[in-house]
C-alpha cells in the first residue's frame, strides 16, 4: 500500500537517488509515486510485487467470469458442458 507521507517523491529526487530508491523498493515492497511538476505521473514498483499484482488481477478476472457464468446458469442460459463438448467434437470430426 502507498504511504502518502513516505512514498510520493519527485522524479528529480528519484533520478538523484536511484540506488537508494531501488533498495527501498526491494526492502519494503511498497510502490513509489513519482511526480512531475507536483503532479503524480508515474508509479515505480519492484518486479516481484508487480508480478503479485498481475496475479491478483488475473485471479479477480477469473472469479468475475465464474460469477458471470453462475448468474447465467441461474437464469437458465448457456448449455451443459457435455452438450457443448459433443457439439465441439462433432464439428472437429466433420472438418477432417
- The band of 91, judged by pLDDT with boundaries at 50, 70 and 90, is confident
Provide mean pLDDT across the span 39-63: 96
pLDDT in tens, 5-37: 788 999 999 999 999 999 999 999 999 999 999
Residue 32 has a pLDDT of: 96
- pTM of the shown model: 0.70
The structural domains of the chain, with segments of one domain joined by +, span 8-45, 49-95
- The band of 2, judged by pLDDT with boundaries at 50, 70 and 90, is confident
Residue 96 has a pLDDT of: 64
Q: In three state form, how does the secondary structure of 3-47 look?
A: CCCCCEEEHHHHHHCHHHHHHHHHHHCCCEEEEECCEEEEEECCH
Amino acid at each position: 500500500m502507498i504511504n502518502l507521507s513516505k512514498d510520493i517523491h519527485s522524479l528529480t529526487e528519484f533520478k538523484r537517488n536511484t540506488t537508494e530508491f531501488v533498495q527501498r523498493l526491494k526492502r519494503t515492497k511498497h510502490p513509489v509515486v513519482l511526480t512531475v511538476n507536483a503532479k503524480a505521473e508515474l508509479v515505480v514498483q519492484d518486479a516481484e510485487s508487480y508480478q503479485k499484482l498481475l496475479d491478483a488481477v488475473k485471479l479477480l478476472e477469473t472469479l468475475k467470469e465464474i460469477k458471470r457464468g453462475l448468474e447465467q446458469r441461474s437464469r437458465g442460459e448457456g448449455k451443459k458442458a457435455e452438450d457443448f463438448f459433443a457439439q465441439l467434437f462433432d464439428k472437429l470430426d466433420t472438418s477432417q
